[in-house]
A = this chain, B = another copy of it.
């Protein structure tokens, strides 16, 4: 059995409270005693039990990170960044995957609340009502979704959509197709709003579509039928599927049609043609979400909204319109 605080106390001839202090309030203990305790602790391989500590302090030093789908390439960079950032602040992170199921998500959060100081909700499927209810038990930060009065990280995909469309009109494209995502998606809504508001663009909206390669593949025929020469896809997966679908129908990218994705996942960089895309600041979002969460754990009454900028990465899937 691993050493406990009592073992250390006994072995160093002080009482448990002194040992406790040397770890949680070192300045309160005589340097000499402190060093002795530290030496013994080192010797015994003692490490404070965080769970036991949590019982009295109310701080678990854990956070929960809930994403829709770990295997969706959009998430791993966010998870990685959030985890690294949390750990640098001495927090461990539970990660869980809801498989896009609201039921699972709610159940999950409930069993997690007691073990964490807060939860990071990434693109939750839960209703606002459910989120607000759960919020009574544990602090939240939501990413890419708006829930009133809740700390939020948004990625400004509307701006990215504008950049993408301007990029294409700059290349001479007039008729632009927006391949939208699932109907409930906040991101899709933002893209649509931004695109619709732009002037001098002959916009056609296609969708809703599944946010996957399949979704892109399936919409290829519609894109061709629409007569658009420029396409902004809901995300990179859709863009890649679409390019594939166009290719199968003898339409070349970027020669015949230009395609822009959203997210900047790894596959887009690896693919040929390399995908022009709206880069989402996923890593930054992960870090900032952790910061916001840790901060709102301290003082609960500060809902904040942070909007992170997106940018356009021009690669090979866009080109000048054919004469």
Contacts and interface: CB of A to CB of B under 8 A. Distances in A.
A226 to B, nearest CB: 24
Contacts of A96: 83, 87, 92-93
Contacts of A84: 97, 99
A190 B267 CA distance: 27
A80 B71 contact: yes
Interface in A25-75: 45, 47, 49-52, 54-55, 60, 62, 69-71, 73, 75
Contacts of A95: 79, 83, 93-95
Contact of A2 (B47, B83, B113): B113
Interface residues of A, number: 47
A270 to B, nearest CB: 5
Nearest to A77: B71
Contact of A54 (B51, B71, B77, B87): B51
Interface stretch (A104-112, A122-130, A166-174): A104-112
A267 B236 CA distance: 12
A50 B267 contact: no
A137 B76 contact: no
B92 A115 contact: yes
A183 interface: no
A275 B237 CA distance: 17
Contacts of A54: 51
A94 B94 contact: yes
A30 to B, nearest CB: 26
Given A76-B71, A94-B94, A240-B270, A114 B83 contact: no
19 contacts: A2-B137, A45-B137, A47-B111, A47-B113, A49-B114, A50-B114, A51-B60, A52-B55, A69-B80, A70-B83, A71-B80, A84-B97, A84-B99, A92-B112, A93-B94, A94-B95, A95-B95, A267-B271, A270-B271
Q: Which 8 pairs show the lowest CB-CB distances between chains A and B?
A: A70-B80, A267-B267, A51-B51, A49-B114, A95-B95, A71-B80, A71-B76, A267-B270
